[in-house]
C-alpha cells in the first residue's frame, strides 16, 4: 500500500491572547503572513504530498478560504472546537494515510530531518512519530489517520481540542510511537518560536530577517534568540508554554 503524507493545518482567528495569529505579518513590507510562510515552506518538502487547511466554520474564519485559493490548496470547514475532527476531514478529503501536523502559528518548524523521519515512519509502520523536547514551535508530528480516528472516537473533549495527539500520548501501549532524535542545539526549553503573544511576534519577525525560504539555519537562530534582549522578550511565557504543551 502506498502511503500518502498530507499536511493538515488547523486554522481559526479566535484567540484570547493574540487575535488571528496566522494572519499577522512576518514581513510587513512584502505582506507575507505567518501562514503564507508556513505553506510556502511545506510546498518545498518532497515528503509532503499535499497541504489542506482545516478551517473553523465560524464566520470570522472565511478569510482562510481565500488563502487556500491563493496557494491552490484544498480546504475543509469543520467544528470550531473539535480540532481533531478537522484534521481527520482534511485527511479524508485528500485520501491521506498519514497526517503531518504543525500549528498555524509556528513558522520555524525544524524540517531538516523530515524525509528521513517519513521514510522510517513508513518502513517501521509507526502509528505516530513525534519531534518533541525541542524549542517550542520547532517540533512536528506525523500520525496515521486511523490513529486520529480512534482518538476522536475514544478520547475526551480535551483530546479533541488543539491537543490532538493527547489521547495517543496518554495511551502509549496502544500505539507504536517513534520519538524523533533532535539536534542538541534544538533541545532547549529556555526559548520559544511560536506566536501566542505580541512579544512572540516581535521575536519571530526578527528571526525572519535572518532566514530565507530555502535557507533556515537553526544553529544561527538559536544563537540569536539566546541573546539577552531577545531572550527577555519571551522569557515570561516560556514556562507556561511548555507546561501546557501536552497536558
Nearest partner of 100 among 41, 19, 150, judged by Cα: 41
Within 8 A by CB and 6+ apart from 17, the residues are 196, 197
More confident residue, 80 or 243: 80
- Give CA–CA dist 21/99, Å, rounded: 22
Average pLDDT over residues 83-96: 98
More confident residue, 139 or 246: 139
Kindly report the number of other CB atoms within 10 A of residue 8's CB atom. Answer: 29
Confidence of residue 132 (pLDDT cuts 50, 70, 90): very high
Single pTM value for the model: 0.95
Domains of the chain: 5-183 (3.90.550.10)
- Give CA–CA dist 103/11, Å, rounded: 8
Confidence of residue 247 (pLDDT cuts 50, 70, 90): low
In eight-state DSSP terms, residue 23 is G
Over residues 137-157, the pLDDT tens digits come to 999 999 999 999 999 999 999
User: 165 with 130: CB under 8 angstroms?
Assistant: yes
Report the mean per-residue pLDDT for the chain. 95
Residue 26 has pLDDT above 70, yes or no: yes
User: 56 with 86: CB under 8 angstroms?
Assistant: yes
Amino acid at each position: 500500500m502506498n502511503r500518502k503524507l498530507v499536511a493538515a493545518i488547523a486554522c481559526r482567528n479566535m484567540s484570547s491572547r493574540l487575535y488571528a495569529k496566522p494572519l499577522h505579518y512576518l514581513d510587513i513590507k512584502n505582506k507575507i503572513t505567518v501562514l503564507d510562510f508556513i505553506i510556502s515552506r511545506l510546498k518545498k518538502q518532497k515528503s509532503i504530498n499535499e497541504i489542506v487547511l482545516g478551517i473553523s466554520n465560524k464566520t470570522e474564519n472565511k478569510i482562510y478560504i481565500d488563502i487556500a485559493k491563493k496557494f491552490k490548496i484544498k480546504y475543509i470547514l469543520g467544528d470550531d472546537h473539535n480540532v481533531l475532527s478537522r484534521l481527520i476531514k482534511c485527511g479524508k478529503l485528500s485520501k491521506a494515510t498519514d497526517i503531518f501536523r504543525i500549528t498555524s502559528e509556528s513558522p520555524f518548524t525544524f524540517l531538516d530531518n523530515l524525509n528521513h523521519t517519513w521514510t522510517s515512519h513508513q518502513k517501521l509502520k509507526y502509528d505516530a512519530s513525534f519531534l518533541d523536547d525541542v524549542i517550542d514551535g520547532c517540533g512536528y508530528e506525523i500520525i496515521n489517520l486511523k490513529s486520529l480516528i480512534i482518538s476522536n472516537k475514544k478520547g475526551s473533549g480535551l483530546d479533541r481540542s488543539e491537543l490532538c495527539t493527547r489521547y495517543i500520548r496518554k495511551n502509549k501501549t496502544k500505539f507504536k510511537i517513534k520519538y524523533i532524535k533532535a539536534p542538541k542545539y534544538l533541545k532547549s526549553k529556555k526559548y520559544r518560536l511560536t506566536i501566542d503573544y505580541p512579544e512572540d511576534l516581535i521575536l519571530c519577525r526578527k528571526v525572519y530577517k535572518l532566514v530565507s525560504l530555502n535557507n533556515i539555519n537553526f544553529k544561527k537562530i538559536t544563537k540569536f534568540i539566546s541573546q539577552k534582549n531577545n531572550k527577555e522578550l519571551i522569557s515570561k511565557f516560556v514556562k507556561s508554554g511548555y507546561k501546557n504543551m501536552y497536558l
